[in-house]
Chain A
Amino acid sequence: MNKLQFPLIILLGILSFSACEKDDICIDADTPQLIIRFYNITDTTEFKDVQNLVVRGLLPSGSKDTIANIALDSIVIPLRTDASSTSFALTRQLSITDINVDTLVISYDIKEIFESRACGYIVNYDALEATVKPDDSVWIQETRITTSLIENTASAHVKILH
């Protein structure tokens, strides 16, 4: 019996610990969003609020709901993972009658990354480009890319000067 104890204990050990594994809950990864900060065109280091800023996503079929945001000098907006460019309508309202809508087109390369068993795939955006569709009156004067690779939401990716 003494000889049996050793393998039996190991067998019990393996069987009891075989069911122990990490929970498959995705908490450590997510597809990052685009961060835009608004700066003053006269002093490019100074933040500048956009009065009554309203941001909507644009699809070829029409515009979508307003993206909720609180701050007026920075916005966090989701990009489309199923297309290589996303369009947004950025509305600045100075007074009741003075409403200016600019269309911002963000284009990028999609990098699909397998993150973990629980999260599966996320997307990182590379080779970021931002352009403003020219129309009669544009309030966005310049766009600058500060980080062309969107891996996280730690800092701003695009500067908008107005």
Chain B
Amino acid sequence: MSRYCISLFFFLLYALGSAQSEPIDLNKKDTVAYKQPYGIRVGVDLSRVLVSFLEDNYTGLEFVGDYRLTNKLYLAGELGNEKKTIGVPLGNEINNPAGDLYSFTTSGSYIKLGIDYNTYGNWYGEQNMIYVGGRYAFSTFSQTLDNYKIFNTDRYWNPDDFAVGTTQNQEFSSLNASWLEFVVGIKAEILKNLYFSASARLAFYITNKQPENNAFRNLFIPGFNKVTDGSKFGVGYNYSISYLIPLYKKSNKPKEEPVEELLEEVQPNEEFEEGF
């Protein structure tokens, strides 16, 4: 038994010696690749759902989605439908639909397609975004002029209120508009694969097909929101919740470090060793 123990001791001593003979690599490369999820993220805009519940004159729904192309680039889009009734008050009764100078209902759908670029450098395991993006958007809609009055500063014939227009409930259909949109927003992973996102949008319309013969104007465009006189800009926002359907995982290729930087790092060490 003791002989066995002694031979085992010598064997292990040899193993120890052989292990020590190899230099210890302190700058060993990390071979574990960090893989990030890639897939399709789909969701719904919560703000439009909420406003639909809270306000009588609005119903809207917007689906959002994106597909991850590269580490930072996403193909993104929105698909929505909105119906909004707007009354412009100017008459003898403010805050009453009867006092509206005119009121109209816009109803239509829109699609927005573009890209998102993530500017946020995530820590290990994070999948958050602070992004800028661009969209091309197209909307088809119809405007219904519910009721209107004729603006006239002279009150001789109608002392109490404006005269009512001749053709109420006119519908202007097959209207469309297209615009470019600039997006900034954030996306945060609140649960595994579940994202909350908020974005602000600045839109600039390229085409805007108005009702003919100055019969009416597109004062609201679904997806674009309010159209201001003499301006081509519109603003919007959304607060959405979305779910990532992971399709595959891919690691981010490490950037090749410049050679010069490496040399600079090495040189002081050599000097130190020589001095030592």
Interface residues of A (CB under 8 A from B): 3-4, 6-8, 10-11, 14-15, 18, 21-22, 24, 26, 29-31, 33, 57, 64-65, 67, 78, 80-82, 86, 110, 112-123
- Identify which of B62-70, B215-223, B246-254 touches chain A: B215-223
Tell me how far the C-beta of B129 lies from the nearest C-beta in chain A, rounded to whole angstroms.
Answer: 10
Question: Is the pair B121, A3 in contact by a Cβ cutoff of 8 Å?
Answer: yes
Question: Is the pair A24, B88 in contact by a Cβ cutoff of 8 Å?
Answer: yes
Partner of A22, one of B90, B182, B228: B228
B210 closest partner in A (C-beta) = A114
Q: List residues of chain B with CB within 8 A of the CB of A8.
A: 130
Tell me how far the C-beta of B188 lies from the nearest C-beta in chain A, rounded to whole angstroms.
Answer: 14
User: Is B74 close to A, CB under 8 A?
Assistant: no
A-B contact pairs, 18 of them (CB 8 A): A6-B132, A7-B119, A14-B184, A14-B235, A18-B235, A22-B231, A30-B153, A57-B156, A57-B157, A64-B157, A78-B157, A81-B163, A82-B164, A117-B228, A118-B88, A121-B102, A122-B151, A123-B150
User: Is B138 close to A, CB under 8 A?
Assistant: no
Tell me how far the C-beta of B143 lies from the nearest C-beta in chain A, rounded to whole angstroms.
Answer: 11
Binary flags per residue of B196-239, CB closer than 8 Å to A gives 1, else 0: 00001110000000000011110100000010111100010000
Q: List residues of chain B with CB within 8 A of the CB of A33.
A: 154
Tell me how far the C-beta of B232 lies from the nearest C-beta in chain A, rounded to whole angstroms.
Answer: 13
Q: Which of A78, A113, A120 has the most CB of B within 10 A?
A: A120
Question: Is the pair B184, A7 in contact by a Cβ cutoff of 8 Å?
Answer: yes
Please give me the 7 A-B residue pairs with the lowest Cβ-Cβ distance, nearest first.
A31-B152, A18-B235, A78-B154, A120-B101, A82-B163, A81-B163, A11-B184
User: Is B141 close to A, CB under 8 A?
Assistant: no
**A-B interface contact total, Cβ < 8 Å:** 112
Given contacts A81-B157, A121-B148, A121-B149, 15 further A-B contacts (CB under 8 A): A8-B130, A10-B182, A14-B201, A26-B151, A30-B151, A31-B153, A64-B157, A65-B156, A78-B152, A82-B157, A110-B166, A115-B151, A117-B219, A121-B150, A122-B150
Q: List residues of chain A with CB within 8 A of the CB of B228.
A: 21-22, 117
Tell me how far the C-beta of A87 lies from the nearest C-beta in chain B, rounded to whole angstroms.
Answer: 12
A26 closest partner in B (C-beta) = B151
User: Is B97 close to A, CB under 8 A?
Assistant: no
Q: List residues of chain B with CB within 8 A of the CB of A24.
A: 88
Partner of A4, one of B119, B182, B219: B119
Assuming A81-B157, A81-B163, is B152 touching A7 (CB within 8 A)? Answer: no
CA distance A78 to B158 in the complex (A): 11
Partner of A82, one of B132, B166, B235: B166
Partner of B230, one of A4, A15, A22: A22
User: Is B120 close to A, CB under 8 A?
Assistant: yes
Question: Is the pair A31, B154 in contact by a Cβ cutoff of 8 Å?
Answer: yes
CA distance A29 to B101 in the complex (A): 14
CA distance A22 to B229 in the complex (A): 7
Tell me how far the C-beta of A59 lies from the nearest C-beta in chain B, rounded to whole angstroms.
Answer: 8
Question: Is the pair A3, B151 in contact by a Cβ cutoff of 8 Å?
Answer: no
Binary flags per residue of B116-138, CB closer than 8 Å to A gives 1, else 0: 00011100000000111000000
Q: List residues of chain A with CB within 8 A of the CB of B214.
A: 113-114
Tell me how far the C-beta of A34 lies from the nearest C-beta in chain B, rounded to whole angstroms.
Answer: 11
CA distance A102 to B123 in the complex (A): 91
Binary flags per residue of B33-68, CB closer than 8 Å to A gives 1, else 0: 000000000000000000000000000000000000
Q: Which of B88, B157, B166, B235 has the most CB of A within 10 A?
A: B157
Q: List residues of chain B with CB within 8 A of the CB of A81.
A: 150, 152, 157, 163
